[in-house]
Structure 1
Amino acid sequence: MILLQANQIARLFGAEVLFENLQLEISSRARIGLVGRNGAGKSTFLKIIAGIEAPDAGTIAKNKTATMGYLAQDTGLISNATVWEEMLDAFAAVRIIEKRMRELEIAISESNPNTANYQTILKEYDRLQHDFSEKNGYGYENEIRSVLHGFQFDASFYDQKIATLSGGQKTRLALAKMLLQSPDILILDEPTNHLDIETLAWLEGYLQNYSGALLIVSHDRYFLDKVVTEIYEISRRKMRHYKGNYSRYLDLKAEQLASDWKAYEKQQTEINKLEDFVARNLVRASTTKRAQSRRKQLEKMDRLDRPQGDEKSAHFLFDIEKPSGNIVLQVEDAAIGYSIEEILSEPINLDIRRKDAIALVGPNGIGKSTLLKSLIGELPFIRGEVTFGANVATGYYDQGQTNLHHNKTILQELWDEHPTTPEVEIRTALGGFLFSGEDVDKPIALLSGGEKARVALAKLAMNKENFLILDEPTNHLDIDNKEVLENALIDYEGTLFFVSHDRYFINRIATKVIELSENGSKLYLGDYDYYLEKKQEEAEIAALLEEKTVIATVSTGKQNFQQSKEQQKALRNLQRKIEKIEEELATLDEEITAAETKMTEPLVLNDHVQLNELNQFIETAQQRQEHLMEEWETLSLELEELT
């Protein structure tokens, strides 16, 4: 069933066209990803779909019965209620039904079953009970607990006032409430911002099973691959539709571009032939009519536009002035936190070698950014210290871009740090990061998040350090510029240590993963997918050990009361077998000694046949001894384990 249709949607800013003629269709249980460059108009289009803004042209047709929910990026929940009270509000309609059911239950208990009023009450109660069950009335509190747990809110948060929480917590709660409200069409603008990897994985699973339709803007390619089944791309003011997840969209887009070029080149060949024929034959009397016919054919031809392919992307590299030594950085048994009483993580051990590309992962709040700042000396370690190797030159990317000067222009920001570099070289470097012409005179204070990120990366590239410490370098970058950054870091000849929640980025860049937890650091020798596999193995082993511990505990309890008859029987059997082996070993020892003694007798020494027989007997007896000793050792170990 079609829930919503957008037809010929346009947004204009005076004479400038942001986009036009956009078409989109949302059906029941659709899983749609909306992609495009920063500034292409994705968020504006979502607001038009959600009815928050009106289009300059086109129409939105929505199923009248379909409910819609829209959550803008970085929207925090504003409320004076507690976390639990606010989540209960998502089920306000269900709770009204529940309240009425309680009233009817009292009325039923007090009414005469033989009256007409009693039957009326019963009918209303049956209807409400059906509606209550349909709306998950018997399980909505468990659903609230499940969603809050998924967003890293345990029971200790339930009674906290939302107004007292951090901005990131309010953002997660806004998304949690929207999910609990479960609208038929759920529109999410960058829902993965500021979520740690564990929460992202939970959200993916939740959205995969979501009962309604989804329309999502996201720059998280891993997330899009897991959740969406169709892609709408806004590019050059137009929109195109592709079936499949993000990876499939990339393949289809490449195929479409190749097909467009083939059709364009074929038509250009035909046009050139026709134009050449007209030019050579129009003035000749014998061929004028045919030339005029070709000219009319050219005039009527629907000419294809030249395929434009991808929009202009940034292009840059991270060079190094000189290589470092093999050992880049070492930390041993360090602790990070706010004070000796408030340690976030320990013991932390790092051994970073030249050309390592290491991703630092862990839950929000565990101290990943704190660790990076401790490594560069901005914050002290609570315990421990960092040791750098020979010739290490460190560059640091701060996710908050606090090292940018808001009172400077883009050009000044780079030139002031490299005053001896010619202006043309500074402008060339900035051009690689999509700043050209008058763009370089923009004040830093007026830039978007994506523009600030590109300025910060430009500064980093200019410095040519051989060890880059990066804190969420993909934040604020669109997908195309993320890919440019990835390619630049893959070609980088130095060493990388970075924090990121972009799993696709980690998979492409990282050769190792370090997980940070309250119990310190743990190294995994592989990319993100390898890290996930090992975590799954660890979880399975832990579950198995826990199960064995429970069984052993129960078993021990029973044995303390009365040792099982089977174990007693096994003990007796083992003891009897061991005693029998010991008796046989003693007998064999005596027989071997007797045979060896006999071999020394004068009569036997001159009887080669008898000597040979005795020798064979001794060898056989010794082999039997060895076999019995092995069996004795095995049985003794079993006896030791049982006792």
Structure 2
Amino acid sequence: MRILGTHRLTKTYAGIPILTDVTIDIQAKDRIGLVGPNGAGKSTLLKILIGETSYDSGEIYHPKDVTVGYLAQNAGLVSSRSIWQEMLSVFQHLIDEERRLRHMEQLMSQGEVYQDQERYQQLLEEYSRAQDAFKAQGGYEYEAKIRNVLHGLRFAHKDYTAPVSVLSGGEKTRLALAKLLLQEPDLIMLDEPTNYLDLDTLSWLENYLSAYPGAILIVSHDRYFLDRLATVIYELDHTKITCYQGNYSAFIQQKSARLEQQLKQYRRQQQEIARAEEFIQRNIARASTSKRAQSKRKMLEKMEVVERPRTEHKTALFRFEAGRPSGYDVLKVEGLKLGYDQHHVLAQNISFSVFRADRIAVVGPNGIGKTTLLKTITGQLPRLSGTIQIGAHVKFGYFDQEHDKLHPHKTVLAEVWDDYPHLQEQEVRSLLGQFLFSGEDVNKTVSALSGGERARLALAKLMLEQANTLILDEPTNHLDIYAKEVLEEALEAFPGTIIFVSHDRYFLNRLATKVIRLTARGAEMYLGNYDYYLEKRKEQAEIEALGQQKALEQSTKPEQHNYELEKARQRELRKLKRRKEQLEGEIKQTEEMIKTLEEQLYSPDVYQDYEQAQEVQRHIDAARQTLDQLLEEWAELEEQLH
């Protein structure tokens, strides 16, 4: 069933086209992702659909009985009520109905009503119908529903009687999202809903929206989110919209194939046009062939010309280079305590090591101290206790998600040139051009820049540092999908070490080779990318559940014991098989690392340097010891499984 749509919608602003012939179709259960570069008009389209912004021409199909809920970017909830009262307001009709039921119960309990059997019977029947309707509308479940949504969006630790006005900007945005989810309109439209959400909250939101009874239209740069949720992708680019079936990954494949096909059609037609024009030029003056040439000319005039497909976006082009390589041991953290002071500790007992060329993602809930950890490592914040050992020749380059080190009153040109005065002005302008600052853009003040522009400026300055160890705090914030892809390619080609914090799970998966999970009690290291980390976390949860199950078995009845024991045995076998597969991956990775180290050892630069050769040999010995342990564990598992 079609619940909302447009036909050839057009919008211009100050004579500049924003939307051209935009046609979309939204069905009752659709999960639609709306993508496109920053400034393409995605938010404008959503505002047109809800009637907040006008349009020039075209049609909008919106049945009166279809309800639409919309949440703009960073649209915080404004209210004088408490958190709980604000959420309850969604269910005011049920609260009123509940009061009516209580009133009817009081009437039926009165003696004069009870004695009037006819009146009592009428009231009883009315009460029964009202109670059934109340139950069908979720009257006995709405408080539990509120608690579920507030818990999922990380309000469980909050005092629900606290006024909305005391919440932070991010909390108000999350609360606005909570209220919208509880309202359950036929169509939810969300503009960048993943801002301010940590990884656990993102996972919860994905699951909640997957089971949502209505349709969903989401503008997002979160590719992992779109992969998990979307079944249809609309791309808005160069004022026009194109529909693709499937999730984000399917969209990338289909778009590539479509562009390739369009390019073939364009080239084929251009060849046909060139041959026709050549024929006309050679034959138009000849009496014997003039009619054929004129016919060809008319054919060309009537031909519908295929436009050359736009295969590239205007994106930043850059790469990170390390001025001097670091030693193999980059960083060693032991017993670190993080916080603002001894009375405000965020996390403690943090220990881990970082080696050259590691790509380490730091994950954990919001507020646990991920940014604090990065700033402590780089010396911007003091450590409360513990040690941080920085390896030889390590040079940190830090990307701050808030861009606090940019000077708001400087121009873009001065922001870079003042820090690197040895460069010529043309060199600075050329560099800024790589990051899409061209012409008069370089004379803008930093305060006038958008979030994406400030991020690109900070990346430009980071590139000039030529650090060998990059410390990145939310580097993909404010970047559109195309800019993220360029950044990922630049970081993948970087020869040094990267430690980063990000909520972009697609970015985490593509870049990370190790994941550190930060908790209040310490840090856990996982080898692999983000998906591998999730799998290991799931396995750990199953092991904990198995332990609880075994404890439960002690108290089960004798006739249930064998059944429960067999279930536990099967779970244990599945766990052992997963561990065996993981070991095989770790064995392969360790063997490859040994091979790489041995190649280093036999290179002239290393074996002619005694100290460097000793260091490499020490790492080879350690890796071989690890390999022996892995092989021993693998052999034990192989024996248990057979």
Give yes or no for the alignment of 1:28 onto 2:28: yes
CA distance in 1, matches of 2:91, 2:180: 11
Who is 1:418 aligned against? 420
- Kept in 2, the 8 Å contact 1:358–1:513? The answer is yes
CA distance in 2, matches of 1:218, 1:128: 42
Who is 1:96 aligned against? 96
Do the aligned partners of residues 275 and 127 (structure 1) sit closer, same or farther apart at CA in structure 2, a change above 3 Å counting?
Answer: farther
Q: Deviations over 1:102-130 (max 9, x none)?
A: 22222334434866544553454344333
CA distance in 1, matches of 2:404, 2:377: 17
- Kept in 2, the 8 Å contact 1:83–1:162? The answer is yes
Give yes or no for the alignment of 1:381 onto 2:395: no
Who is 1:600 aligned against? none
CA distance in 2, matches of 1:95, 1:531: 44
Superposition pairs for residues 75-474 of structure 1, below 5 Å? Answer: 75-110=75-110, 111-112=113-114, 117-118=119-120, 120-154=122-156, 156-474=158-476
CA distance in 2, matches of 1:533, 1:488: 28
The one-letter code matched in structure 1 to 2:94 is V
Unaligned runs of 5+ in 1: 559-643
Q: Which is worse superposed, 484-493 or 273-282? A: 273-282
Q: Which is worse superposed, 317-326 or 127-136? A: 127-136
Do the aligned partners of residues 96 and 382 (structure 1) sit closer, same or farther apart at CA in structure 2, a change above 3 Å counting?
Answer: same
Give yes or no for the alignment of 1:485 onto 2:487: yes
CA distance in 2, matches of 1:60, 1:115: 56
CA distance in 1, matches of 2:384, 2:195: 30
Which secondary structure does the structure 2 equivalent of 1:359 belong to? strand
Unaligned runs of 5+ in 2: 559-642
Q: Deviations over 1:176-230 (max 9, x none)?
A: 1110111111111111001100010000000000011101001100000111110
Q: Deviations over 1:209-267 (max 9, x none)?
A: 00111010011000001111101111001111111111111111111101111111121
CA distance in 2, matches of 1:271, 1:332: 71
CA distance in 1, matches of 2:321, 2:401: 21
Superposition pairs for residues 555-634 of structure 1, below 5 Å? Answer: none
Give yes or no for the alignment of 1:513 onto 2:518: no
Which structure's CA Rg is the greater one? Answer: 1
- Kept in 2, the 8 Å contact 1:42–1:217? The answer is yes
CA distance in 2, matches of 1:185, 1:367: 37
Q: Deviations over 1:13-49 (max 9, x none)?
A: 2111222221112110111111010111111111111
The one-letter code matched in structure 1 to 2:422 is T
- Kept in 2, the 8 Å contact 1:232–1:240? The answer is yes
Give runs of ≥4 in structure 1 deviating > 4 Å: 112-120
CA distance in 2, matches of 1:232, 1:131: 39
Which secondary structure does the structure 2 equivalent of 1:385 belong to? strand
- Residue 310 of structure 1 and its aligned partner are, at CA, apart by 2.9
Q: Deviations over 1:37-94 (max 9, x none)?
A: 0111111111111222222333322111111111111122222222222111121122
Q: Deviations over 1:523-546 (max 9, x none)?
A: 001100000000000000011112
- Residue 436 of structure 1 and its aligned partner are, at CA, apart by 1.2
- Residue 433 of structure 1 and its aligned partner are, at CA, apart by 1.0
CA distance in 1, matches of 2:10, 2:455: 29
CA distance in 1, matches of 2:115, 2:450: 70
Who is 2:16 aligned against? 16
The one-letter code matched in structure 1 to 2:339 is G
- Kept in 2, the 8 Å contact 1:514–1:522? The answer is yes
- Kept in 2, the 8 Å contact 1:220–1:502? The answer is yes
CA distance in 2, matches of 1:301, 1:127: 69
CA distance in 2, matches of 1:386, 1:45: 50
Q: Deviations over 1:487-541 (max 9, x none)?
A: 0000001110000011100110000000000111110011000000000000000
- Kept in 2, the 8 Å contact 1:507–1:528? The answer is yes
CA distance in 1, matches of 2:67, 2:128: 26
- Kept in 2, the 8 Å contact 1:2–1:63? The answer is no
The one-letter code matched in structure 1 to 2:177 is L
CA distance in 2, matches of 1:174, 1:113: 51
TM-score (norm 1): 0.84
Q: Deviations over 1:452-495 (max 9, x none)?
A: 11101111011111111000000000001000000000000111
- Residue 412 of structure 1 and its aligned partner are, at CA, apart by 0.9
- Kept in 2, the 8 Å contact 1:50–1:187? The answer is no
Which secondary structure does the structure 2 equivalent of 1:482 belong to? helix
TM-score (norm 2): 0.84
Who is 2:587 aligned against? none
Q: Which is worse superposed, 154-163 or 503-512? A: 154-163
Who is 1:540 aligned against? 542
Who is 1:58 aligned against? 58
CA distance in 1, matches of 2:393, 2:103: 78
Q: Which is worse superposed, 164-173 or 467-476? A: 164-173
CA distance in 1, matches of 2:286, 2:118: 103
CA distance in 1, matches of 2:133, 2:317: 58
- Residue 295 of structure 1 and its aligned partner are, at CA, apart by 0.8
Which secondary structure does the structure 2 equivalent of 1:251 belong to? helix
CA distance in 2, matches of 1:46, 1:464: 42
The one-letter code matched in structure 2 to 1:421 is L
Who is 1:602 aligned against? none
Which secondary structure does the structure 2 equivalent of 1:289 belong to? helix
- Residue 277 of structure 1 and its aligned partner are, at CA, apart by 1.0
* Identical positions, percent: 51
- Kept in 2, the 8 Å contact 1:113–1:119? The answer is no
The one-letter code matched in structure 2 to 1:364 is N
Which secondary structure does the structure 1 equivalent of 2:386 belong to? coil
Do the aligned partners of residues 289 and 116 (structure 1) sit closer, same or farther apart at CA in structure 2, a change above 3 Å counting?
Answer: farther
Give me the CA root mean square deviation: 1.7
Q: Which is worse superposed, 80-89 or 522-531? A: 80-89
CA distance in 2, matches of 1:44, 1:59: 16
The one-letter code matched in structure 2 to 1:132 is F
CA distance in 2, matches of 1:183, 1:113: 46
- Kept in 2, the 8 Å contact 1:190–1:219? The answer is yes
The one-letter code matched in structure 2 to 1:165 is L
The one-letter code matched in structure 2 to 1:68 is V
Which secondary structure does the structure 1 equivalent of 2:515 belong to? strand
